[in-house]
Amino acid sequence: MTSQVRIAIIGGGIVGLTTAYYLKQSGFDNITLFDDGTGQATKAAAGIISPWLSKRRNKRWYTLAKLGAQLYSEIVATAHLSSGAYRQNGTIVTRHDSEKLAALYELALQRLADTPTMQAVEQLKPSEIETYIPGVKTPAAGILVTGGAQIDGTIFLQELTAFLGLKIIHEKVNLTATGQIDGYPVFDKIVLATGAWLAEAIAPLGLTTSVRPQKGQLISYQTPALSINTPVLMPEGEYDYLPIVNGVIVGASHEDDQGFDLTVDNTIINNLRASAGKINPQLANVAPTSVRVGTRAYTPDFAPFFGQLPDFKHIYAASGLGSSGLTTGPAIAKLLAALIIDSKIELSAYTKPITEYIN
Ligand SMILES: Cc1cc2nc3c(=O)[nH]c(=O)nc-3n(C[C@H](O)[C@H](O)[C@H](O)COP(=O)(O)OP(=O)(O)OC[C@H]3O[C@@H](n4cnc5c(N)ncnc54)[C@H](O)[C@@H]3O)c2cc1C
């Protein structure tokens, strides 16, 4: 009986929460979720869901990202999430070089043929981009993917938690050497959705991982209200520019070698401000209204991974989602839930074996 299976999920970011969602959809309702929230990537993230114009050659990554982007509409409809949590407002990617733009448009059309989530693609002149996104000045033309989406990680998690009726235990928990949660009754299955903190989580099991933290910072500005349908701009050579209620977000930085540091770094903030001023000259001398800092998880091959721990068959882990984890997260969660139900399912189209990342 699924309801008798006691499941613990450690980590309440996009992976942990959407895993809870898929498990509940399959009838598992004895779920305890632990999250201490510090540095969580999901809440800090910019929120762009638009993987289709990426030239990354990693097929497994693209399969996950394409599936993740597609799953959002289903989750949002089922859980009745608001447009503040998720909306398909479109994404515009620019290129300065007309040949590169033409090649990107070709790629977009190819991918559109078997990707209904993209909805439509359109080439835009600089003046058309400026009309779509008030305040923006761009010398470069671009491509609009109308199905490109934006999520607000904080609102998404809040609304999904409420829909699931989950009580989150806001506490940092530790595994014991036998793979249970210190201080809690025995669980039948444990999911480690601990993001960048996987090394610490599995240390009591005598295991190590190649996952490393990467710091990311972004800034927000107040601007005159933008329509809820204003697209996200991904300008070549600059940071991304995302409309939010009454403002915009600009970011995010990718800072290696900073460990789990969450302090605001003024040099980085000044770079972000300079980029914001180039994209929208009205922001050139305006101070940002807020700064967000979070920690991403990276693997040596920049690929996310997930699976069952070989020597602890009741423990499952997912990490290494990097800078596109909001996009791949729901796909990883769906497959992880399927693996919990049937340990024999084939995952090689989506991830390398977990032993490539955990020793
Ligand atoms: C600045 C920034 C911008 C980004 N922009 C985008 C974007 O535009 N598009 C995109 O697709 N992706 C983006 N990302 C990447 C994306 O946010 C992450 O890859 C994704 O959110 C990772 O999700 P996760 O669930 O694996 O980890 P997290 O969201 O980090 O969640 C892990 C959680 O586990 C908790 N935890 C860890 N150990 C324990 C423990 N022992 N006990 C209790 N709790 C624990 C942590 O506190 C944390 O809350 C961005 C990331 C950052 C930092």
Same domain for 293 and 305, yes or no, is: no
CA distance 174 to 179: 9
Same domain for 132 and 217, yes or no, is: yes
321 lines ligand 1 (CB under 6 A): yes
User: Is residue 54 situated within a structural domain?
Assistant: no
Contact criterion met (CB below 8 Å) for 342 and 335: no
User: Is residue 76 situated within a structural domain?
Assistant: no
CA distance 190 to 130: 49
201 lines ligand 1 (CB under 6 A): yes
Ligand 1: residue whose CA is nearest its atom 31: 13
336 lines ligand 1 (CB under 6 A): no
pLDDT of residue 39: 79
pLDDT of residue 116: 98
Residue of 19, 36, 215, 332 to mutate, ligand 1, most atoms within 8 A of C-beta: 36
Same domain for 102 and 130, yes or no, is: yes
Give the domain range for residue 179.
Answer: 2-43+154-211+301-356
Domain with residue 110: its CATH number is 3.30.9.10
Same domain for 123 and 221, yes or no, is: yes
Residue of 19, 21, 194, 242 to mutate, ligand 1, most atoms within 8 A of C-beta: 194
User: Is residue 81 situated within a structural domain?
Assistant: no
C-alpha angle 91-96-99 in degrees, rounded to nearest 5: 100
47 lines ligand 1 (CB under 6 A): yes
299 lines ligand 1 (CB under 6 A): no
207 lines ligand 1 (CB under 6 A): no
pLDDT of residue 333: 98
pLDDT of residue 1: 59
Amino acid at the residue 114: D
Same domain for 217 and 142, yes or no, is: yes
Residue of 215, 242, 321 to mutate, ligand 1, most atoms within 8 A of C-beta: 321
Same domain for 20 and 119, yes or no, is: no
Same domain for 190 and 274, yes or no, is: no
pLDDT tens readout for residues 223-259:
988 888 999 999 999 999 999 988 999 999 999 999 9
- pLDDT tens for the 359 residues of the chain, in order: 577 999 999 999 999 999 999 999 999 999 999 999 887 999 999 999 999 999 899 999 999 999 999 999 999 999 999 999 999 999 999 999 999 999 999 999 999 999 999 999 999 999 999 999 999 999 999 999 999 999 999 999 999 999 999 989 999 999 999 999 999 999 999 999 999 999 999 999 999 999 999 999 999 999 988 888 999 999 999 999 999 988 999 999 999 999 999 999 999 999 999 999 999 999 999 999 999 999 999 999 999 999 999 999 999 999 999 999 999 999 999 999 999 999 999 999 999 999 999 99
Q: At what angle do helices 325-341 and 59-78 cross, to 10 degrees?
A: 80
Domain with residue 186: its CATH number is 3.50.50.60
Ligand 1: residue whose CA is nearest its atom 2: 45
User: Is residue 268 situated within a structural domain?
Assistant: yes
Same domain for 254 and 229, yes or no, is: yes
Ligand 1: residue whose CA is nearest its atom 22: 325
Last residue of a domain, one of 249, 270, 298: 298
Same domain for 9 and 33, yes or no, is: yes
User: Is residue 171 situated within a structural domain?
Assistant: yes
User: Is residue 59 situated within a structural domain?
Assistant: no
User: Is residue 78 situated within a structural domain?
Assistant: no
pLDDT of residue 73: 97
User: Is residue 30 situated within a structural domain?
Assistant: yes
pLDDT tens readout for residues 97-129:
999 999 999 999 999 999 999 999 999 999 999
175 lines ligand 1 (CB under 6 A): no
Residue of 14, 56, 155, 173 to mutate, ligand 1, most atoms within 8 A of C-beta: 14
Last residue of a domain, one of 281, 298, 315: 298
Contact criterion met (CB below 8 Å) for 94 and 204: no
| The token pair that represents 146 in the structure block | 């109308």
Please report the atom of ligand 1 found closest to the CA of residue 42: 21
Same domain for 176 and 159, yes or no, is: yes
Q: At what angle do helices 14-25 and 153-164 cross, to 10 degrees?
A: 30
Same domain for 224 and 287, yes or no, is: yes
Same domain for 173 and 218, yes or no, is: no
46 lines ligand 1 (CB under 6 A): yes
pLDDT of residue 120: 98
Residue of 10, 18, 32, 42 to mutate, ligand 1, most atoms within 8 A of C-beta: 42
Last residue of a domain, one of 252, 275, 298: 298
215 lines ligand 1 (CB under 6 A): no
339: which residues sit within 8 A by CB, 6+ positions away? 306, 307, 308, 316, 345, 347
Please report the atom of ligand 1 found closest to the CA of residue 201: 41
Domain count, the chain: 2
